[in-house]
Amino acid sequence: MKRVITYGTFDLLHYGHINLLKRAKAMGDYLIVALSTDDFNEVEKGKKTYFTFEERRQLLEAIRYVDLVIPEESWDQKLTDVPLYQIDYFVMGDDWQGKFDFVGEKTEAEVVYLPRTPEISTSQIKADLNKRDSDD
């Protein structure tokens, strides 16, 4: 069985997220999504999410491509998750290109950066909503 893992915040879930999850799942038999916790997002990533961790978890668990959702609580966790879950493919969007090569160097997983869906992003959605609010 080929196992795949990906990491992210997955706030304001959109079709770009679904495309990434679908392509990640196509690489193996079992897809694990490590979902950034609220604390990790706020303290380490400097992000405030619209949906809570539990709400984002429920959304991800409802997607047919996702087999398991685990909490992501630190950057270093990737190096322990890969052997713990016997991961074959460590997958991230290509906006992270090169940032996680060390995972492949320190584990037996292959690191793959998948192209993002170019016309959509959570940051763009938030910017559009803020612009719409300021125009009202």
Q: Summarize pLDDT for 45-64 with one digit per residue, the tens.
A: 998 999 999 999 999 999 99
> Within the chain, what is the greatest distance between any pair of CA atoms?
53
Span 115-126, mean pLDDT?
73
Q: DSSP characters for 31-88?
A: EEEEEEPHHHIIIII----SS-HHHHHHHHHTSTT--EEEEE--TTHHHHHHHHTT-S
What does pTM read for this prediction?
0.89
Binning pLDDT at 50, 70 and 90, where does residue 15 land?
confident
Element spanning 113, H or E: strand 110-114
How long is the chain? 136
Catalytic positions: 45, 47
What pLDDT sits at residue 27? 98
What pLDDT sits at residue 12? 86
Token readout for 120 is 């959509």
Span 17-32, mean pLDDT?
97
Q: How many CA atoms within 13 Å lie on the side-chain side of 110?
A: 10
What pLDDT sits at residue 124? 72
Please give the mean pLDDT across all residues of the chain.
Answer: 92
What pLDDT sits at residue 117? 81
> What Cα–Cα distance (Å) separates residue 131 from each residue in 13, 126, 134, 135?
20, 9, 5, 6
Per the CB < 8 A criterion, the answer to whether 107 and 79 are in contact is yes
Binning pLDDT at 50, 70 and 90, where does residue 136 land?
low
Span 108-114, mean pLDDT?
97
